[in-house]
Chains A and B, each alone.
Chain A
Amino acid sequence: MKRRDFLKGCLVSGAAASLCAPSKSWAVGSFEGYPDSMGVLVDTTRCIGCRSCEAACNKEQKLPEPDVPFDDTSVFKEKRRTTEKAYTVVNRYEANDAQKPPYRKMQCNHCNEPGCLTSCFVNAYTKTKEGAVIYNAEVCVGCRTCMVACPFNIPAYSYSSAISPIIKKCIFCYHTRLKFGKPPACVEICPQEALTFGLRSDLIKMGHERIRETPDRYVDHIYGEKEMGGTSWLYLSRVSAEQIGLDTTLGNEPIISNVKDFLGMVPMVLTIWPALFTGIHLLATRNKNHGDVHDNHSEQEDGKK
């Protein structure tokens, strides 16, 4: 008898759990970014690979001396990535036609729903209302989970520090510039204005307008408008996104969508399950005293009569 009740309980609780499991639309609504979020439109068709943005970033963020001067173009021989010493790097890619090779600047894309922020268990990351994804180095424990979570391979690690290594990445010049409404250092120095600073919503319009006006110049796509739930940094290109090293397999769902359903269930498990299982327990143990309860009940009824 007990065994049967237990199995019944399991079945009921299983059904209840499946009912409780939130559907995608029911879960936390998708975040499209702050309305006044700033961004940068990177027009790779304009970039001439002068590396001025790298130099400006190095000085603005007080980064260590580079290995080679910033006007040395020999660095384009290999594809570089962001490091603790360089929050932004420009890479040269191969053109598949007679046109000149395209360049692309690489830095944190400042996602609307950052994967690094989602993954950080000490809450070191913040997405500011201006659009920047900043982090508190004092809280960072150097676990490198954000390095794994970042779909764009941006956060770098201060491997050089033996005592307290932490994460290092582009912060959109938040503390020195963005907070005061000023463009980041890289944007300001760009001689070609390949980088355009503005409201993200304006930049998307501007990007589509550039494509419409000069369709021969661009692929009809703004990388970052939808990718990974949208990013503050957006890219225009003459060649396909993968040709300039942008990952096109990421999809449009932000990292948080993969865990949102699960995390949405946690509070329910904590509140509903105790009540549910208590109920099942009471159900399961009720039969034991069934006779007595019934007797009491009938006695009361008799009393009323």
Chain B
Amino acid sequence: MQNNRFWLASGMAVLLFAAVPESSRGISVPDTITLNSQSKLYEPFKFDHAKHIILTKECSYCHHHTTGTLEQDSNCVRCHRNSSETKVVSCKGCHRTDSFSAVSMKEKDPKTYHLDKPSLKAAMHRNCISCHEKMKGPIGCQDCHHRTKEGDALYNSGVFAPKKKTAKGGHGAH
């Protein structure tokens, strides 16, 4: 059993290597990335990067112009037709965690083209969910990240679910 797993893993690794564009080889591509480590409402989870590389076979679907083959989006190619790979390719390298803080609002340079850049949370949710909808992947909140107890409390779910009212119109009572 153990032996089987080993072969499977090494087979995956070979496949993975083949799937990664040549230009990206040499820099380390993580197999899993722990996401959501800052959230209080949902538990952190391991994003299976390797699996998604195999499924999409195209880095630029998620990494835009920073890595992979060149950007195809007609809006992006206006500037990024020949832009080379960037040093920073991670999501958090460009997408801020605090997009609405006073600091980040003030920092916005009106000359910057990408003024309407989504926050890290939004960038991930939008990218993941829109693709999962197309590819018929899981789209429920807890399909990716499990809710914490604090999260259950916020959503009035699980053990915090509202008790079924026995008598109707009882909401006036204190």
Contacts and interface: CB of A to CB of B under 8 A. Distances in A.
Contacts of B171: 64, 85, 160
Contact of B100 (A52, A187, A213): A187
Interface string A117-135: 0000000000000000000
B161 interface: yes
A241 to B, nearest CB: 22
Interface in B114-166: 115-116, 118-119, 121-122, 125-126, 129, 133, 139, 141, 154-157, 160-162, 165
Contact of A50 (B121, B133, B141, B154): B141
Interface stretch (A168-176, A191-199, A247-255, A285-293): A191-199
Given A55-B156, A183-B100, A192-B122, A66 B172 contact: no
A59 B100 contact: no
B112 interface: no
Given A69-B162, A100-B133, A192 B126 contact: yes
Contacts of A100: 133
A166 interface: no
Contacts of A299: none
Contacts of B172: 160-162
B99 interface: yes
B55 interface: no
Nearest to B105: A198
Interface residues of B, number: 28
A183 B99 CA distance: 10
B75 interface: yes
Contacts of A209: 116
B129 A69 contact: no
B102 interface: yes
A59 B162 contact: no
A301 B75 CA distance: 93
A70 B125 contact: no
Interface of B: 75, 99-102, 105, 115-116, 118-119, 121-122, 125-126, 129, 133, 139, 141, 154-157, 160-162, 165, 171-172
19 contacts: A50-B141, A59-B154, A65-B156, A65-B162, A66-B156, A69-B161, A71-B157, A72-B157, A190-B122, A191-B122, A192-B129, A193-B118, A193-B121, A193-B122, A193-B126, A196-B116, A198-B100, A213-B75, A214-B75
